[in-house]
Copies of this chain bind each other. A is one copy, B any other.
Amino acid sequence: MTSTTNPARPTIAATATGGPVVPSASLLRPLPLDEVRIRGGFWGERQELNAQTIVAHCQSWMERIGWIANFDAAAAGTVAQHHHGIEFVDSEVYKLLEAMAWELGREHSSELATRYDALVERVAAAQEPDGYLHTSFGRPGQRPRYSDLEWGHELYSFGHLLQAATARLRTGHDDRLVEVARALADHVWSEFGPGGRDAVCGHPEIEVALAEFSRATGERRYLELARSFVERRGRRQLATTLFQGSEYFLDDLPVRDAEVLRGHAVRALYLAAGAADVAVETGDDELLEAVKTQWANTVARRTYVTGGMGAHHQNEEFGSDFELPPDRAYSETCASIASVMLGWRLLLQTGEARYADLIERTLFNAFAVSPREDGRAFYYANTLHQRERGSEPADDELSERAEASLRAPWFEVSCCPTNVARTLASLAGYFVTVGDDSVQLHQYADLDVDTRTTEGAPVAFSVRTAYPFDGAIELTVREAGRFRLQLRVPEWARGSATASVNGEDVRVDGAYLTVDREFAAGDVVALSLDVRPRLLRPSPRIDAVRGTVAVERGPFVLCLESVDLPREADFAELRIDTATPLRPTADGAIATLVTGGAPGDAGAAWPYATEGTLPDAPQHTSATRFEAQLHPYFAWANRGPSLMRVWIPRA
């Protein structure tokens, strides 16, 4: 979309401030959090919920169940006797620190700064003299360091500490945590760098973290380490188990040889994000192309309509092409976040709208569904079809993890809540980019943007919108300047979107509306997206949803929930009358439904019938028709346990 002058690739240099990802070379440049701010609306409310509730919820749970106290015990030398939680709970504390760091960069709070500093001190106190920092390994009475690379998650945990430190650097603080991170990264260099252990961690994460920490610090060795960890993948070096093979660990193939993402979804996506960073920083175009191919094939064949990824509960894996069962969707919250991380990296390199399209879809659906509306419970796995009314865990109940059908306050493996927190705090960083002489709005919200193009032209504007509940987006320029303004037209709105500049219609074609002019303060660019509900049909290759449709409205995938149905409707027998148009409502759609069982389908007999013994088209007995409202998927089960489905059988 924009062209770049393709400067000689710079030697890596510490970036000052910025968002989560700051490549040293990219077509589009991301903005730091002080140059793009969300001011209310859908995401603003969620950032507020994060600031007010989610971050504190995470901290209080980890205080209560001893995960933070592990660091105190490590410092005191008693952690071997009293370690709380599984091996990688350190990483949750680090993701919380990262969330706090971004949150402080977004909106300073001295109360939060005090809590952050205190927490950093407790973590720092547990660091060993040589830089190693882990509460589960290496101390007398514990297993030796790096004795369980498959499952110990040491490097994975380190990676999350480095990402927290990166967040601090990017928000203008070279503090104690950064010092701890440097010492830790130096330790990893001495252990796993040239002449050291020729090994990888069972759970990728260190790769993407080292690459970014290298960018943030300017330390080339960290990038070299990240590159080594990426290149070492695929040698079947990690010990497999009865259940987990080399594919699970992404150790079956070199990263550059894979055609599609596979194995454990979160691991695969973190690794791909790290590989993209390494490819960019080392000029390895072959590796970058491989990651782009993997992304494209994964999106075309292994992605739920919500943007969620991972079709197997078993091993939290992707599954095969087109194997996308709605009822057994794993679609882990962390996988959605990792997908956004990967998509963002590819968007910065290519400027292609398809990456921003999937980011939007994922954020509004597979990601936004995780936190309960009060911010005190979370989905880990995100089903698209709930057949049984589950029961909600109590507020103080530690859940056993992913099999739970309802949001839980905390999990024994609790990677998702802290991941939600760090993502919401840094979310604005994924919305806007600048090019040489251009600025791009990839995502819509009430925004204030104050930045410059790469060539230095000032860019200041505000966006006001009720998107995605309404399709009208209005951008007002606040400072005169010449730049190409580009507004993404989501794929579902292409062909129907309209736009104007200061009231005069302008043509919208392609994936980005482009307005290239000398802007004056007060200029208004308006984009109108058609957010009326629409029916969606799956590819016939997706066996699990044959004969069904979904309904979307703007970027929202809608769903049908039992709480919105009349008491007499049998949820298992519902069908949608696709001949009757959907009626739009403020946040969803009214659909016409049919209910009533077919003869012999009462669930008391053999559920397979010879053709001829039943009429060819099932004649439903006592079928009734009624209307019901479909609501956005992200909000399901916020009104208590319910049955739910995204894909609705056609009448």
Interface residues of A (CB under 8 A from B): 86, 240-243, 245, 296, 299-301, 303, 305, 312-314, 320-323, 325-328, 385, 387-388, 400-401, 403, 412-413, 491-492, 534-550, 552, 572-573, 578, 598, 600-601, 603-612, 614, 618, 649
Contacts and interface: CB of A to CB of B under 8 A. Distances in A.
B413 A572 contact: no
A307 to B, nearest CB: 11
Given A542-B607, A611-B578, A321 B387 contact: yes
Given A321-B603, A401-B242, A614 B537 contact: yes
A385 B325 CA distance: 13
Contacts of A609: 536-537, 539
A604 B320 contact: no
**Interface residue SS majority, chain A:** loop
A387 B608 contact: no
A320 B598 CA distance: 20
A530 to B, nearest CB: 11
A325 B313 CA distance: 13
Given A536-B608, A537-B608, A537-B610, 16 more contacts: A296-B604, A299-B606, A305-B608, A312-B313, A312-B328, A320-B388, A321-B603, A325-B325, A535-B611, A536-B609, A539-B607, A540-B618, A541-B603, A542-B607, A543-B548, A549-B611
Given A320-B388, A387-B321, A412 B242 contact: yes
A322 B400 contact: no
B550 A301 contact: no
Contacts of A313: 312-314
A421 B534 CA distance: 56
A629 to B, nearest CB: 19
A554 to B, nearest CB: 13
A275 B6 CA distance: 75
B547 A547 contact: yes
A537 B320 contact: no
A310 to B, nearest CB: 12
A538 B611 contact: no
Contacts of A611: 534-537, 549, 578
Contact of A546 (B322, B328, B600, B649): B649
Given A598-B540, A603-B300, A618-B540, A403 B245 contact: yes
Greatest chain B CB density within 10 A among A242, A303, A388, A618 is at A242
Contacts of A607: 300-301, 303, 322, 538-539, 541-542
B549 A546 contact: no
Nearest to A551: B611
Contacts of A600: 539
A33 to B, nearest CB: 31
A360 to B, nearest CB: 13
A649 B546 CA distance: 8
B492 A610 contact: yes
Nearest to A600: B539
A546 B549 CA distance: 12
Nearest to A405: B320
Contacts of A649: 540, 543, 546
30 contacts: A242-B401, A296-B604, A300-B604, A305-B608, A312-B314, A313-B313, A322-B603, A323-B328, A328-B328, A534-B610, A535-B610, A535-B612, A536-B609, A536-B610, A536-B611, A537-B609, A539-B601, A539-B608, A540-B598, A540-B618, A540-B649, A541-B601, A541-B607, A543-B544, A543-B545, A546-B547, A547-B547, A550-B608, A552-B610, A578-B611
Contacts of A608: 305, 536-539, 550
A552 B327 CA distance: 27
B323 A400 contact: no
A245 B402 CA distance: 12
A322 B541 contact: no
A606 B300 contact: yes
A537 B540 CA distance: 18
A573 B543 CA distance: 10
A419 B327 CA distance: 32
A583 B141 CA distance: 71
A65 to B, nearest CB: 15
Contact of A327 (B323, B326, B535): B323
A493 B619 CA distance: 24
Given A245-B403, A611-B578, A572 B536 contact: no
A239 to B, nearest CB: 12
Contacts of A540: 573, 598, 601, 618, 649
A541 B572 contact: yes
Contacts of A328: 312, 323, 325, 328
A606 B354 CA distance: 10
Contacts of A388: 320-321
A292 B526 CA distance: 67
B314 A320 contact: no
A301 B578 CA distance: 28
Given A300-B604, A313-B312, A539-B607, A327 B321 contact: no
Given A604-B296, A611-B535, A400 B245 contact: yes
A536 B610 CA distance: 4
Nearest to A578: B611
A322 B240 CA distance: 33
Contacts of A547: 546-547
